[in-house]
Structure 1
Amino acid sequence: MLRTLVVAAVGAAGAVAATRGLYATAVLAALIAVWTAALNLVDTRPQRPVPPPPVPVSPGEEERRRLTAYLDLSPAPLVALDDGRLHVVNRAARHLLGANDRVVDPPEGLVAALSDTRPGRTATIDIGRDTNVRSFALATGDLALAGRMTRIGALIDIDAELKGAEAAALRDLVQVLSHEIVNALTPIASLAETAVAMLDDPDPALPQVRDAILTVARRAASLHRFGESYRALAKLPAPAPERLSVTPFVSDLEALFVTRWPTIAFSTDLREAPAHMHADPDQLTAAIWAVLQNAAEALHDTPDPSVTLSIRAQVGQTLVTMTDNGPGIPVGNQADIFRPFFTTKKEGSGVGLALARQILRGHNGDLTLAHSSAGATRFESMVPSIAAG
């Protein structure tokens, strides 16, 4: 258009110049007209549209875009409750609730849960329809915007977490059961074989045979009850404390240990022991046996191996100490020995000490590694006690 206007203007100027005798000017105007027309004929390519200059972005808008990108990366749906109206905040919330900004038809109970759940607390809410219902944990926080308080909510899908936890719990249960059953049956079988061998003697010591068989019967019954509780509840059952006589309790443990590891010197120290403890006999047996077994397995290369079980009365509680003269637990492993399934043994499962601690804590007591060095490793456990009577 500009070139056309130039040609027209130059033509008019040439005509005026020619009528007034200005021939040089007329010639110059004619040349300009010819040149402009030639350019129009030569440059016939379509012209690309010139992009508009970029619109400058304010620092505040740039920061808002950056924050939006960050929020969209969150896998947890984020929502905002402002003056009773529910809005989605990030991509995960838009996908879950099917809205781009305001949620016109929010899921039942979500607005009420957001209003009622104070910051720092959580609630559980189900979102979905028909068979596609998912459970979410709702965590909230308050944000002051433009002089108004806005409640922010994060929805954490807990269905996948629950399924994973259930699978892990089942796996842990199977490993704990197999560990405890196999390790408890081994000394029982050994003690039963000893009783059979004693009966083969031409003149059997019947009182000793009777004691051995009674120990086998008690431990088998204890193991049966312990396994039934696990199977029924799918978890370590709550202890059923009772008044437990210390001397026969320790005698059973000693008989089992000596039968299982006859080459390891086993001694007991009951000089300061109370007459009774307040504990679940089956669970406490499993806990102490797990520590004794851990000690015995650490002594396989130790000359003159020995294990000592000591029980001492204290104010309101009983201290049970198990000591061995093995190589000790490396410093780097001491913080992990109570972690489930941690083991440095080729055939170990790593559940014995974890189970023992869990049992003792269930009794409002505890199990700790009091000391470990070459030649002296000591575990201490606390059990509530009751007065003898």
Structure 2
Amino acid sequence: MRYKYFRLNVVLRILALLILGYSGFYILTQTHFWLVSFWLFLALIIILIGLIRYVERSRRDLTYFLLSIKQNDFSNSFPYEKTDELNFAFHEINQVMKNLRNEKASNYLYLQTVVEHVRVAVLCFDEDDKVTLSNKAAKELFQKDHISSLASLAKVSEEIASKVEQLKSGERELVKVKVGGTLLNLSVQVTTFKLQNKDYKLVSFQDIKNELEEKEIESWQRLIRVLTHEIKNSVIPISTLSEVILQVFKTEVQAKNNSQTEAEAYQDIVGGLETIEARSKGLAHFVNTYDQLTKVLKPEFSTVQLLPLVNRIENLFKPDLEAANIDFKVKVDPTYEVNVDPNLLDQVLINLVKNAIEAIKDQPYKSIQLSTRLEQDKVILSVRDNGPGIPDEVLDNIFVPFYTTKQSGSGIGLSLSRQIMGLHKGSIAVKSSSEGTSFELIF
């Protein structure tokens, strides 16, 4: 319809030009009304200019529309009338392109929201090892506000950057690294893809420390159950038998008059049996001590405020803190509440404070701080000291049952603390540097 109207409009204007031209020429040459021919020629010029502008307007609108598409600019409107089908087509195409652009923006926003929502750290590298996509979890994991390239990731950990470079598409590897004083067990997985003839590498980083700890605790508990059973079966009869023999010897020898040689033999036998008894009892105590690691604790949950609980721990250690001249600070939000077994949590805090006191015993200025904060809707209670820190080779083993660097330590305190936090669906993390150590209870 628009093109029929366009042709009709052009044809009518051309006819008008021909009629005006012929009429003006005829009147000018055949009559004396030359002024009429002047007005006819003037009208001819006006119609001719209008015809040129009318034809060029369509070309100009088309050029403008195509440039708008090229520049991805669909903010301009194309007003049209019922007979103006070209501008109507421009308007319709412009609306379609606007909808496509809005849909593209919505899809990108949706994808960005999903990527930001997942708790798995994600980084995407292009062919030049530049980061084209990163999410909030990655920034939190690597403790950097901006990761721009693989070189920037290498500043956090050269081992992680090396693994990202080496791993091929579909491969996964477990990497144990220390980031910001925190030991992480990262599952690193790589996927490669091509987009607009460019190669990209999508890398995910997931800290599976909690999952590994649960499996580790379960394995240790199975092993300890077997060891406890076997050792008890051997120790108890030895201890019982040694007590009986010792009692018989004491009774028999005291009832008879023996020679000096018999007395010396008696002393040797008694001494040996007493040693057997002492070592047997010591071994039995050893087994009973570690047996608590295998017992399935049953927490009795209740909602408690952290501040009164922490104050109770402070009062418990007050004599030791004053004797050692320790600056004990409490920065706990009085509004924070957690659903825990207060007795089990007391046990965890007592163990952590004891360790902190031991860690700072040789420091000129001794400080222990208990504080709380809220991160990602989780309450975190930290116990921090200003000791010399934990060496890396020790840090990797502190939650292993029986492992201890103390002469009189049993090596079950931190392992049991981790087990208790696991029962509360929480976790325990440690950060250590030369400026001190911080244990964080995450609820």
TM over 0.5, shorter chain: no
TM range (shorter): 0.3 to 0.5
Larger relative helix fraction: 2
Q: TM-score, normalised by structure 1?
A: 0.39
Q: TM-score, normalised by structure 2?
A: 0.34
